[in-house]
Amino acid sequence: MACNKIITIGRQFGSGGRKIGEALAESLGVKYYDKELISLAAKESGVDPSVFDSVDERAANSLLYSLSMGVYSFAGNMDQMPVNDRLYVLQHKIIRQIADEGGCVIIGRCADYVLRDRQELVRIFVCADMDYRIRRAIEQKGVKESKAEQAVHKTDKSRANYYNFYSGRKWGQTENYDLCINRTNLTDEQAVSVIRGYIDVL
């Protein structure tokens, strides 16, 4: 039987959570969504994907303010929204549509919060030791050695701001997830095996 679990993966920058998510989706035979969420949002809205890409997982810190001022409504015209909020609202809608289609793996973008009412939800968080993440940022993401630690902190901060702002929860806090896995001493395959160990007992 096909896996019907909706698996969300939060991840520290440089932890390799994306690769683990890809391998997990393949192992379960379900679809995988990461940057795909941007293309889908762009397609739905007609906005250039590169515009959305530049604000992906960044909070504008303006949605609640705008809502409280009654500047726009979700049901109506989104053109006046800051592009960050517009992308969040579109991704929110797309994430719910994707989940309706069955089992999948979704990386980041508050998907665990967006889908909090779904019984099939499995919330994973991938972390790793700082040394591992710095090395990975240099080797896999082409970050300069002298800038790597700063880049790790900066991207984590940006992801945390995004998550905390839109969800009202705290990014990376254990009780917001079903399983938090430190992958420092694990290969992608081993990490997938541990996550499957959780999914398979449910």
What is the binding site for a copy of itself (CB under 8 A)?
Answer: 12, 125, 127-130, 172-175, 177-182, 185-186, 190, 193-194, 196-198, 201-202
Between 150 and 185, CB nearer to a copy of itself: 185
Between 69 and 201, CB nearer to a copy of itself: 201
Between 35 and 153, CB nearer to a copy of itself: 153
Query: What's the closest the beta carbon of residue 188 comes to a copy of itself, in angstroms?
Result: 12
DSSP element (H, E) containing 36: helix 36-45
Q: How big is the CA angle at 138 (ends 50 and 149), to the nearest 5 degrees?
A: 95
Torsion angle defined by CA atoms of residues 68, 70, 74 and 79, in that order, rounded to the nearest 10 degrees: -120
Between 55 and 108, CB nearer to a copy of itself: 108
* Gap between the Cα atoms of 121 and 129, Å rounded: 27
Please state whether 187 falls in left (phi above 0), alpha (psi between -120 and 50) or beta.
Answer: beta
